[in-house]
């Protein structure tokens, strides 16, 4: 549903009497009502809850259910030839029924309503470059950004130039995801800057390949003690993403990736291969068990790989997925081998990741756990029963690329890489063309690597995890 209003604006007040400019207004919305009908481990769904012994209650006493809304409304204002477009979006995110809280947090649905809970989601200008024959546009401001779904796909402040020339497409840009004000006499600080390029070309009518590159850098805050010794910030395995590092370290990280999407009629193959290098300096690497490195400067050498292979048989699609995210097995050396995502939202798993409707409540949004990486195997089937009804299911097996090592509550040392086997199922039904009712179910049969997150820390995974969610969504 799209409402468009064309307005003729006579600007005689600036000396252009008789001239007119036509402007198109479009208004869109995504009104998402989500319900966690039941989960047996609500603490597990606290965002990135990677603390040792902090995510799973071994006594199975943290069952819960809740309802929430996530509404996004946006306006697009463009010239009638679409040479210039402005976009502004607001979002109410994760506003739970009955949950009170302070301004700025994803709460505020208690008595008397919301405590001012509105986020600016997008605010950017999208402009055709004048005098350029091919399709070249500049986007500047707070905008949707997709360099690679496994490395960086989120909203970001930046300036990006994208275009298309025949079968060749490109995006080059500068992003500023984090800034620190300079202060006289204060610590040395540096803004986080990223420079990116993304290039793609068709190899067949329905297939394409691509290459992307990213450099992310800053100069960290340096803290000194009274004796003149440097006090480094901790680079924690429990906060393993570039977004979490902010301005704490000297970052010189480059990421190079190859992508491919190939369609051979009834068979398709999609893939990603990513290498990450560079350095992280002025840091103290601390692993998940609190073991610290004696080094302060680290070389980065990590990998990520992904492949989907699938087939379409009538109204049914069957997809096999594998991905590998490299992990680090020794936090005490001077090398980082664990792949670092920048800012992403993974949905491959309903239990471990953001695959449920209540996707503001998740264990991890990244394609790995801690700094231990991940092997993920998945087979999924989706069937369109009719124009209104779609059903599907999946079977996953997940393990970390490197063992999770820790000292248990009894003083014994444990080590394991097993995450578990997960069953997923979903159903979606269109009540109206723009309104969808859905329900998801996920069950994780945990393996012993998940004991690190359990409260009893006895070396054995004691609790399986399951959730049942529903959603009612109106998009226009």
Query: In this predicted model, what pLDDT tens digit does every residue of 331-372 receive, in sequence order?
Result: 999 999 999 999 999 999 999 999 999 998 999 999 999 999
Residue 22, pLDDT > 90, answer: no
Average pLDDT over the chain, rounded to an integer? 89
In this prediction, residue 114 carries a pLDDT of 59
* Helical H segments across 114-245, by residue range: 242-245
Give me the mean pLDDT over the 435-439 stretch.
98
Q: Given a cut of 90, is residue 116 above it in pLDDT?
A: no
pLDDT of residue 21: 57
Helix/strand/coil for 450: helix
Query: pTM value?
Result: 0.91
pLDDT of residue 18: 37
Return contacts of 268-271, CB within 8 angstroms, 24+ apart.
268/308, 268/309, 268/310, 268/311, 268/312, 269/307, 269/308, 269/309, 269/310, 270/306, 270/307, 270/308, 271/305, 271/306, 271/307, 271/308
Reported confidence tier of residue 227, pLDDT bands at 50, 70, 90: low
Mean pLDDT score, 417-437? 98
Among 344, 227, 245, residue whose Cα is nearest residue 298: 245
Provide mean pLDDT across the span 304-331: 97
Q: What percent of the chain has pLDDT over 90?
A: 74
**Is pLDDT above 80 for 11?**
no
Q: How far is CA 101 from CA 71, 105, 112, 242, 246, in A?
A: 18, 7, 12, 28, 26
Give the pLDDT confidence of 156-169 residue by residue, as tens digits: 999 999 999 889 99
Non-local (6+) Cβ contacts of 89 within 8 A are 72, 73, 74, 75, 120, 121, 122, 123
Q: Tell which wins on pLDDT, 14 or 167.
A: 167
Contacts for 136-139 with beta carbons within 8 Å, 24 or more apart? 136/161, 136/162, 136/163, 137/161, 137/162, 137/163
């Amino acid at each position: 549903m799209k409402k468009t209003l064309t307005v003729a604006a006579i600007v005689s007040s600036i000396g252009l009497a008789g001239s007119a400019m036509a402007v198109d207004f479009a208004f869109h919305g995504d009104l998402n009502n989500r319900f966690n009908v039941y989960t047996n481990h609500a603490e597990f769904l606290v965002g990135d809850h990677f603390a040792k012994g902090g995510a799973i209650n071994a006594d199975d006493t943290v069952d819960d259910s809740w309802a929430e809304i996530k509404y996004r409304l946006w306006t697009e204002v463009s010239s009638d030839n679409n040479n210039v477009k402005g976009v502004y979006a607001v979002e109410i995110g994760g506003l739970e029924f009955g949950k009170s809280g302070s301004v700025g947090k994803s709460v505020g649905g208690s008595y008397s309503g919301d405590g001012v809970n509105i986020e600016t989601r997008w605010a950017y200008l999208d402009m055709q470059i004048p005098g350029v024959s091919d399709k070249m546009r500049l986007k500047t401001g707070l905008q949707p950004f997709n360099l690679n779904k496994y490395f960086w796909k989120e909203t970001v402040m930046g300036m990006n130039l994208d275009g298309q020339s025949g079968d060749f497409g490109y995006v080059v840009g500068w992003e500023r995801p984090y800034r620190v004000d300079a202060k006289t006499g204060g610590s040395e600080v540096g803004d986080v800057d990223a420079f990116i390029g993304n290039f793609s070309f068709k190899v067949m009518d329905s297939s394409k390949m691509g290459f992307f590159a990213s450099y992310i850098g800053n100069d960290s805050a340096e803290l000194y003690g009274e004796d003149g010794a440097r006090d480094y910030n901790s680079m924690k395995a429990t906060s393993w993403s570039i977004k979490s590092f902010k301005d704490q370290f000297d970052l010189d990280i480059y990421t190079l990736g190859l992508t491919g999407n190939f369609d051979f009629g009834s068979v398709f193959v999609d893939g990603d291969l990513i290498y990450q290098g560079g350095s992280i300096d002025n840091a103290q690497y601390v692993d998940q068990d609190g073991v610290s490195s004696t080094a302060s400067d680290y070389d980065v050498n990590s990998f990520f790989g992904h492949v989907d292979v699938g087939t379409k048989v009538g109204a049914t699609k069957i997809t096999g997925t594998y991905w590998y995210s490299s992990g680090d097995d020794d936090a005490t050396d001077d090398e980082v081998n664990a792949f670092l995502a920048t800012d992403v939202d993974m949905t491959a798993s309903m239990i471990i990741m953001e695959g449920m409707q209540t996707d503001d409540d998740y264990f991890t949004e990244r394609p790995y756990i801690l700094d231990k990486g991940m092997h993920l195997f998945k087979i999924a089937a989706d069937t369109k029963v009719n124009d209104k009804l779609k059903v599907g299911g999946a079977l996953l097996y997940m393990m970390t690329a490197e063992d999770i090592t820790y000292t248990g509550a009894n003083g014994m040392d444990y080590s394991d890489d097993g995450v578990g086997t997960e069953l997923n199922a979903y159903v979606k039904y269109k009540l109206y063309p723009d309104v969808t009712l859905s329900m998801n179910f996920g069950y994780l049969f945990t393996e012993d690597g998940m004991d690190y997150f359990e409260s009893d820390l006895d070396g054995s995974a004691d609790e399986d995890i399951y959730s049942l969610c529903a959603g009612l969504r109106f998009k226009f």
